[in-house]
Amino acid sequence: MSRAARRVPLRRALSELPPYVPGARVPVGAAAFKLSSNENPFPPLPSVVAAVVDAAADLNRYPDMYATDLVEALAEHHGVRPDQVVAGCGSVAVLEHVLDAVCETGDEVVLPWRSFEAYPIAVRLAGAVPVPVPLAPGARLDLPAMAAAVTPRTRVVLVCTPNNPTGPAVHAAELDALLAAVPGDVLVVVDEAYVEFVRDPDAVDGLAVLAEHPNVVVLRTFSKAYGLAGLRVGYALARARLAAGVRAASTPFGVNALAQVAALASLRAGAEMRTRVEAVVAERARMLAGLREQGWDVPASEANFVWLPLGDGASAFAAAAGEAGVLVRPFAGDGVRVSVGEPEATDLLLGVTSRMRPPVPA
């Protein structure tokens, strides 16, 4: 073969990656509510926008590589030391850094499925092997089955609570049992991207678990409750030694300057954020009540979305909702996730569901 005809080979793992499918976007010129990406329906707070505008004058400068001010503010906010906080470009990127820090080629990562669809992608890119564990009835994580899936090759167990895309939160007793069953050299990642929306009194408190267990990492994000999805800021909370490893694996300058400023301003505006979160929680309750009154069997949600277990009817439902002016997120063969948005969007959704026959439970 001639030199010109040769091609640079790509990693074999790339051919094994499942595609990440983003939520549908509203076409240009169309009128529709976007309930497909779990975004906060409220725009950024005015104080946050003002801080970003002021910071834009310095875009010729690199950001603080370690997001020092933000890390210190997060440490104070959560009652931990700054050396226990690692910021990154969204919690997905932070998860990738966590896996890079602890996984060797061929190690196993136990994860729930269906869960956040970036999990198997991040695991494969880290050179590890995903071990998916089916959900339990009620679209809940099956933590006993996940514990049973741990082998001597397991390095990480991923726990998504509330679970995306199904909504239920893991209970504290369930996670305690998992941690008691998992060896101390296996990392348990508690992904709490939607923790601000949780109202279940039995739900996991990730910070309390972190304080008790040295093999736990907690992931958080500013994308959901704080409404900064467009700026990509997430972070990990961990024991100092683990945090140092994650920091070493992180992308230099991974949190851009505007994102750092916006996250800091958002922390300062916590009371306003909580008011908005309460509005989303109230709208979630209205959506769930409306669906159940129509006869739909939907799991309890502790996040800013609701899960419709439609199986093979997911794509058809999404198409019907789109025609009615509501974009939702179908997962072919499993169900449909509907983000909680404006009240008018909920009204349109309930109009769609009222015209469709709820599936008969299997």
CATH code, domain with 340 = 3.90.1150.10
Residue 70 within a domain:
yes
Residue 7 within a domain:
no
Sheet-wide strand order for 329-331: 305-308, 335-339, 329-331
**Residue 11 confidence (pLDDT):** 86
Note whether 40 and 73 are same-domain residues.
no
Peptide linkage before 114 cis (omega within 30 of 0): yes
Query: Once rounded to an integer, what is the mean pLDDT over residues 116-136?
Result: 97
Which of 268, 303, 330 marks a domain boundary?
268
Residue 303 within a domain:
yes
Which of 268, 287, 319 marks a domain boundary?
268
* CA–CA distances in Å: residue 127 to residues 11, 106, 109: 10, 6, 10
Q: What is the pTM of this model?
A: 0.94
Residue 73 within a domain:
yes
Expressed as residue numbers, the domain containing 246 is 46-268
Structurally, how many domains does the chain consist of? 2
Residue 4 within a domain:
no
Note whether 90 and 220 are same-domain residues.
yes
Note whether 164 and 192 are same-domain residues.
yes
- Classify strands 335-339 and 305-308 as parallel, antiparallel or unpaired: antiparallel
Note whether 98 and 50 are same-domain residues.
yes
Residue 192 within a domain:
yes
- Per-residue pLDDT of 226-252, as tens digits, reads 999 999 999 999 999 999 999 999 999
Asked if the model's pLDDT at residue 157 lies above 90, the reply is: yes
Asked if the model's pLDDT at residue 83 lies above 80, the reply is: yes
Which of 268, 298, 322 marks a domain boundary?
268
Asked if the model's pLDDT at residue 336 lies above 70, the reply is: yes
Contact (CB, 8 A) for 167 and 301: yes
Helix/strand/coil for 200: coil
List the CATH number of the domain containing 86: 3.40.640.10
Residue 359 within a domain:
no
Helix/strand/coil for 84: helix
Residue with the bigger pLDDT between 358 and 118: it is 118
Asked if the model's pLDDT at residue 28 lies above 70, the reply is: no
